[in-house]
Structure 1
C-alpha cells in the first residue's frame, strides 16, 4: 500500500504553531475513523533531545519504548490519543550518524557519499518505514523555511512528492500573518515571502494555515490565495484562541477535514468530534478555581513542564475546575524559605529535574506541604526529594540526601540505580519508557487507580535506597507502588495527611484530554475537598473512586 503523507512546513518565524497545527490535523482525521501516525523531524545535530538543557529545548518527552523526544510528540499523543515510538522522531544527528556508519561498513560499495542521494535517501527511508501500515502519516519538519539545516529534509520531501505522486502527498505550510497595530491591517507579505522561499526548493504548498492574532478578513485570504498560488478553499486560519485544544474545532469548522480527505482520496467516516467538544467546553467553563503551587528549578521556561501543565488541565476539565498555576522558583525558596508562608495555594506539585541547584528550596516546599497538610504530588525528582525531606525531618537522619546531590552524604536514602553503575554515556542510557507498576491494596494509590497495577513512563537514574526502607516505613512512610519486574520503589504516600503522594514515574506522559491520569485528578479532588467539597463538579470523587 502506498503511504499517504501530509507534510507540514513552517515559515516567517519559529514557534509559529506547527506542532499544534499538525496535532490538530491528526485529531480531525482521527475523528473520521482514520488510523493516523505523526512524525516530528528535528534538523538539529543531536541524536535526540535527551541531553538538552530544558532552558534551550523545553521538556523532553518520553515515548513508551524509551525515546527521548521533542515536546511536540507530546502534543501528537495527547491530540491523537495514541502511543508513539522513538522512530516517530527523526533528527539530523540520527541521519548523519546512520549514513556515516553505513559508509564505514562499506554499504555504499565505494561510492562518494553525498547529501543527495545518500542523506536524502536515509531521510525518505525513515519516513516511509514509520508510515507503514497507517491510513495517513503527518510529517512535521521542524525549523523555519530558509534555515540551512532544514534543506536536506525539504529536498527529501520534494522527492517523496515525485516518487509517491500528488494523490498521496499533501504539503501544508504554516506561517504568521502579523496585524499592524497602527492601521489594524493584516500584513500578508511575510507569508508570501515564506511561500516563495519554499518554492525555491521545489515545493508548492497545497494548503496554507495562516496563523494570526485575530481572525483574518476576506481581503487577507484573497491576497494570500493570489500570491501563494493556493485556492481560497485551501487556506485556513488558525487565530489565537483561549486553549490550543480548540484549534481542531476551528479548523474543522473551516472545512479542513473535508479538504484533506477529498484531496488525498481517504476513505473516511462522518466526523465525530463530540467528545473533544465536550472536553473543550468543560475546559472553558469551570465552576471553581484551584490554586496549584508548581515548585521547580526551570519555572522561567514553562515549556520545561508542559506535559504536567496539560495533565493538570485534563484533570481540571474532568472536575470542572480551573487549575490556576502558581509558579514557585526553588532557587528563590532556597534563599528565602519564609516566602512560602506568603504563597496561597490549595495544592503543591514538586516538579522533576536534575542537579543540585535549587534542591534545598524544593525540599522546603515538600516540608511546607507536609506540615501544613496541603495536598501534595511529587514527580520523579520530586519523589526522591520527598524521601530526603522525610528522612531528615521525620526520621531524624541528619544530612540525609541523594548521592546525586551529595556523594558523601552520611545517609544515602536515594542512590544510583544498580543498573546505572557502569553507564559512561549520557544519551539514551537512563531508565526510560514504559514499566509496569504493582499497586499495593488498601493504599491511596489503589483507591486512585482502582486497579492492582498500572503502566507508566520513566526517565531517571536515581532511586530510593532499599537499605533505608525498613526505617522509613517504621516512621510512617508508605510504599504503595513497586516495579513488577524488579523490586524498586515507584509510589510513596503518607497516611496521616489528606493527600500526600509521590511517584518515581512520570504520570504526565500518559495523560489525555478525555482520560486524565489518576494522581492529577486525585490531587485536584483533594484540593477541592479542602476548599469545600462538591463545588468542583466532582468533589472528592477522584480520591474515593480513582480518576482516569
Structure 2
C-alpha cells in the first residue's frame, strides 16, 4: 500500500490551532491502528527555532536528538506519546541552505537553479524520506503568505506525482462572529479557500474554528462556496481544554471520514485519557518572557498534566523592586514556585529574591536550567556570605563566578545549534529526594539546552554529597557537570540543569512536576 498523506493548511489568521488539530487528528488515527508519523513545516528562514525570541515565537522545544524546534513539536510529543526528532521539522532556512550548498558543489550540473523545480524538489525529497504509513504534514503560516507558497506548490506537485487518491487536504480556518449583527461571517473563509484553489489545491475537508458553536446555515455556506461536501465541513469551537479536542474529533467520526477518503482499514481502539480532576493549587512561574503564555508552554502543560490548575506567570522584574517583606506578602499566596530557564540578565535579581523567599520559608520550589544556577547563586550570596556571587553571563567581572560558561562553549562563535543540547546521560545520587522522585533509578537521560554550568569545584564549601552533614546544597545528580542540587532541610528545594518539561506526555507527566504538585498539595514523596 502506498504511503498516505494528510496536509493541514491554515486560513484567515495564524494562531488558530493548526498544531493542536494536527496532533489530535494524528492521535485518533494512531488509536485507529494506523502507523502515523507527523511533520511540521515552518516557512521562516531560520534554520531552526534556537535563536528565536520566546516573546515573539513561544518556547523553543528541544528533541531527544538535540534539535531546537517550534513548540508544535511539543504538542506532537504530548498528544502522540512519542519522541520526535529533527526529521519531524522542516524550515525554509534548511531547504534554501541545502539547495545553495548543492549548487556550490556543482550538483545541479550547470542548471539555472530555480524555485521550481529545484527548491520544490528538495522539499518533496524531505517529505518522502519520512517513515510511517500515514504522514500528517502541518504547513505553518496562513494561505496567502509569500514565504509559504513554495511549500504549497511542493505538496501540490507531490499529490500529482504520487496520486491524489493518497492525499487528504484539510484547511483549518477561522470564522469570526460579528456581535453588532449577531451573525457569523464566512466570507474570509470563502476567500481563503479560493486562494488555496488558485494554487491548485482543493481542500477535502474544512475545519471551521470559532469562538462558540456555529449555526448549521453558516456551515452550509462554507461548504457551498468552497466546493466541499457538507459532511466534510466540521466546526471546532474554542475549548477550555485542548486535551478535549481528540474526543471532539473522534465523536465527529473524523477518523472514519479520513479512512474512507484514503482507503484505509481502521479499528477503533480509542484510548485517550488525560487528567480531568485538578488540585486547586496555585503555582507560580517566576518568568521574564511575558509576551505570550507559549513562552513557557511545556512547563505549563507539565503542571496541568500532573493534576494541577495551570500555573500563573509572575513578572520577575516586578519582584526586583520589592522588599523582602513585600516579596513574602506577595508570594505566600502560592503553593509552589518554578524558576524556569532563560537568557540575559533582565529579571534575574527578582528570581533570586523569589528563591531566597522559598528557601527561608520552606515553600516548594523547582529550578530549571537557569533556575538551578540562580539557586546556587542565591545560596552563595545569602548563606555562603559571597555577596557579589554571580554568573559570568550577567557579570563578567564578578569576584565569585559561581556559574561560568562551559569550557567547550568558550571558543564557539555561532549561536544557532551550538549549546549542549538534547538527551544526556544523568546519574542520580541515591539517598536523595531526587532519587525518590525517580523511584530509585540510577541513570536517566534528560534533555538539555545550556552554555553555562555551576562551578562546584571552585566553591566546594557550598556543596555536599548525599548523607553529609551541614546546611549546604546537596549534589543529587551528576554527569560531566552538576545536573541537580537540593536542600535537605526543605520539603522540596530542587534545581535541575536539564529541562524535564520536554519529556512530559499525556498520561505520563515528568515525575519532577508530579512530585512538585504532590508536595504543594501537602503530600510527602
TM-score (norm 2): 0.96
CA distance 1:300–1:148, shift in 2 (3 Å) = closer
Match of 2:453 among 463, 486, 502: 463
The residue number in structure 2 matching 1:546 is none
Match of 2:483 among 480, 490, 501: 490
Deviation at 1:269, TM superposition (A): 2.1
Write the distance in 1 (CA, Å) between the matches of 2:256 and 2:305. Answer: 28
Write the distance in 1 (CA, Å) between the matches of 2:264 and 2:406. Answer: 49
CA distance 1:235–1:419, shift in 2 (3 Å) = same
Deviation at 1:36, TM superposition (A): 1.5
Structure 2 counterpart SS, 1:432: strand
Structure 1 counterpart SS, 2:314: strand
The residue number in structure 1 matching 2:311 is 325
- Tell me, yes or no, if structure 1 residue 144 matches structure 2 residue 142: yes
Deviation at 1:34, TM superposition (A): 2.1
Match of 2:297 among 287, 306, 320: 306
The residue number in structure 1 matching 2:76 is 76
Q: Report if aligned partners of 1:237, 1:251 keep a CA contact under 8 Å in 2.
A: no
Superposed CA offset, 1:346-384 (max 9, x none): 101011100111111111111111111100000000001
Higher relative helix content: 1
Write the distance in 1 (CA, Å) between the matches of 2:367 and 2:462. Answer: 17
Deviation at 1:272, TM superposition (A): 1.3
Write the distance in 1 (CA, Å) between the matches of 2:323 and 2:62. Answer: 33
Q: Report if aligned partners of 1:61, 1:68 keep a CA contact under 8 Å in 2.
A: yes
Gaps of 5+ in 1: 317-321, 530-538, 544-548
Deviation at 1:199, TM superposition (A): 0.5
Write the distance in 2 (CA, Å) between the matches of 1:68 and 1:97. Answer: 17
Write the distance in 1 (CA, Å) between the matches of 2:434 and 2:45. Answer: 41
Structure 1 counterpart SS, 2:489: coil
Q: Report if aligned partners of 1:289, 1:324 keep a CA contact under 8 Å in 2.
A: no
The residue number in structure 2 matching 1:514 is 507
Q: Report if aligned partners of 1:480, 1:491 keep a CA contact under 8 Å in 2.
A: yes
Match of 2:204 among 187, 203, 206: 206
Comparing 329-338 and 184-193, the one that deviates more: 329-338
The residue number in structure 2 matching 1:438 is 427
- Tell me, yes or no, if structure 1 residue 103 matches structure 2 residue 103: yes
The residue number in structure 2 matching 1:372 is 361
The residue number in structure 2 matching 1:18 is 18
Superposed CA offset, 1:194-251 (max 9, x none): 1001011000001111001112222122111111111111111111112111111111
- Tell me, yes or no, if structure 1 residue 334 matches structure 2 residue 325: no
The residue number in structure 2 matching 1:290 is 281
Superposed CA offset, 1:378-420 (max 9, x none): 0000001111001111111121111111111111111111211
Write the distance in 2 (CA, Å) between the matches of 1:243 and 1:99. Answer: 42
Deviation at 1:455, TM superposition (A): 1.5
Write the distance in 1 (CA, Å) between the matches of 2:262 and 2:310. Answer: 42
Gaps of 5+ in 2: 465-470
Q: Report if aligned partners of 1:61, 1:69 keep a CA contact under 8 Å in 2.
A: yes
After superposition, residues 223-262 of structure 1 pair within 5 angstroms as 223-262=221-260
Deviation at 1:324, TM superposition (A): 4.9
Write the distance in 1 (CA, Å) between the matches of 2:137 and 2:263. Answer: 18
The residue number in structure 1 matching 2:133 is 135
The residue number in structure 2 matching 1:396 is 385
The residue number in structure 1 matching 2:28 is 28
Superposed CA offset, 1:29-58 (max 9, x none): 111122211111111111111111111111
Write the distance in 2 (CA, Å) between the matches of 1:78 and 1:159. Answer: 32
Deviation at 1:299, TM superposition (A): 2.8
Superposed CA offset, 1:449-486 (max 9, x none): 11112221110000111323521225411111112xxx
The residue number in structure 1 matching 2:468 is none
The residue number in structure 1 matching 2:474 is 478
The residue number in structure 1 matching 2:492 is 499
Q: Report if aligned partners of 2:303, 2:311 keep a CA contact under 8 Å in 1.
A: no
Structure 2 counterpart SS, 1:478: strand
Write the distance in 2 (CA, Å) between the matches of 1:172 and 1:459. Answer: 35
Write the distance in 1 (CA, Å) between the matches of 2:339 and 2:88. Answer: 30
Aligned Cα root-mean-square deviation (Å)? 1.3
Write the distance in 1 (CA, Å) between the matches of 2:45 and 2:114. Answer: 17
Q: Report if aligned partners of 1:337, 1:361 keep a CA contact under 8 Å in 2.
A: no
- Tell me, yes or no, if structure 1 residue 86 matches structure 2 residue 75: no
Structure 2 counterpart SS, 1:145: coil
Q: Report if aligned partners of 1:403, 1:415 keep a CA contact under 8 Å in 2.
A: yes
Write the distance in 2 (CA, Å) between the matches of 1:242 and 1:142. Answer: 23
The number of aligned residues is: 515
Comparing 378-387 and 34-43, the one that deviates more: 34-43
Structure 2 counterpart SS, 1:341: helix
Write the distance in 2 (CA, Å) between the matches of 1:342 and 1:138. Answer: 49
